[in-house]
Amino acid sequence: MPKIKTKFFLLFAGLLIITSCSDDDVTAVEPEATCFDGIRNGDELGVDCGGICFNTCFDELVLEGELVTRRILSSEIEYTLNGPYIIRDGAILEIEAGTIIKATPNNDSYLIVAQGGQIYIYGESDNPVIITSASENPEPGDWGGLVICGQATTNNGINARSDLGDIFYGGNNNIQGSGTIRYLRLEYTGALFRNEKRFNALTLYGIGSSTNFSNIQAYESMGNAFEIFGGTLNISNLVALNTGLAGIKVSGGWTGAGDSWYLTNQNNSGIELGNNPINFDALPITDAFIENITINGPLTNGALAYNNGGGFFNLFNIYTSSISLGININSDIESLMVDVGNLEIENIEFENPSSNFIPTNYSGATNFYSEGIAIGAGNRNELPDWAQNWTIGF
């Protein structure tokens, strides 16, 4: 009998040990975050800095050089863009809603996403991301702009070099994605690159159709507000105010669609529509559908300028006001493109034109446009509802 009790006691003790080990596994607690563990955790804004840590994240404040990993920019930090900042192949830059980045003027400051890199800007309608000048008295041309290079088709071939930033773009991956941008404001852009060409607020080279870009404003750009060169992306809800050149320039074999563009006070033209500035016959030919556009003058080169060899364009619901020239057909070459039906514009309205207004300088026989009542980007000449709260200058 004593032997049985001993065996039972040992069995019971063994069960207690097993149960105790199991309970330890369930209630295991992660080590508490500290300001000395070499990890960004807790509410820290960087590695062992910011948040509960009293030291400032000085290294986290400056954007310059190259990004080769993943980086998240916090709305709790005001960043300085201090020269070129390149998002390399495989790297990802994420920017939270409400983040402000200030670019150092006259310092070759610009942000560029290389092929294979991605950018995710998560602004909100009442809390946009803002990239602006660091000057106390900002002016157009204080810094470069945002340039994104993709792997989709352009009519400059595969592995072309960008004339802004001088990196590769183009390829055959037409569904490639370069990221997401929503509710972004780009202010005081348009500095010269290598004293040769002005940056645009946003320049897109060969961007694929899996990219999602919408609700972007270019404010006080000395170059174009937006330029789309090749690619297959669709892009919507663009706003341009006070632009030194064109509001939007599209060419390079772009085969996408544009919707809801609101443009006011462009110095040159509202929208430039072309194929290739060097080789007018380059393939693939630009082939785009654009609708719901407002173009408010004044401007000097036409609300719509058809140039650089033309291309295939279908436009619908175009509202214009305070302009002297509606549709500028640039030369005899583009006139031939109109003759064969490559440019079609349906329902364009010319409201409150200047005293010397002409709808087009085209003198051929083709009736390529039709006039009608247009609402444009939403509210005719007024800022559309979708552009309220996150834009400035209106």
Tens-digit pLDDT profile for residues 24-50 = 444 545 567 778 776 767 777 667 777
What pLDDT score was predicted for residue 361? Answer: 98
**Looking at residue 53, what is its pLDDT?**
80
Q: What is the pLDDT of residue 39?
A: 74
Please tell me the predicted confidence (pLDDT) of residue 18.
42
What percentage of residues in the chain have a pLDDT greater than 70?
89
Residue 46 has a pLDDT of 66
Mind listing the pLDDT tens digit for each residue in 155-197?
A: 999 999 999 999 999 999 999 999 999 999 999 999 999 988 9
Contact 331/308 with Cβ under 8 angstroms?
no
Identify the pLDDT of residue 11. 37
pLDDT of residue 14: 44
CA–CA distance, 145 with 206 (Å, rounded to integer): 17
Q: Give helix then strand counts, H and E, for the chain.
A: 2, 28
Please list the ranges in the chain whose pLDDT falls under 50: 1-26, 28
Encoded tokens for 31 = 């080590």
pTM value is 0.87
Q: How far is 333 from 329, CA to CA, in rounded Å? A: 9
Residue 190 corresponds to which tokens in the numbers above?
Answer: 């348009």
State pLDDT tens for residues 58-78.
Answer: 557 999 999 999 999 999 999
Which residue has 């609402």 as its token pair?
375
Given this model, what pLDDT does residue 253 score? 98
Residue 57's pLDDT is 65
Q: What is the pLDDT of residue 6?
A: 43
Report pLDDT for 350. 98
Question: In this predicted structure, what is the pLDDT of residue 51?
Answer: 73
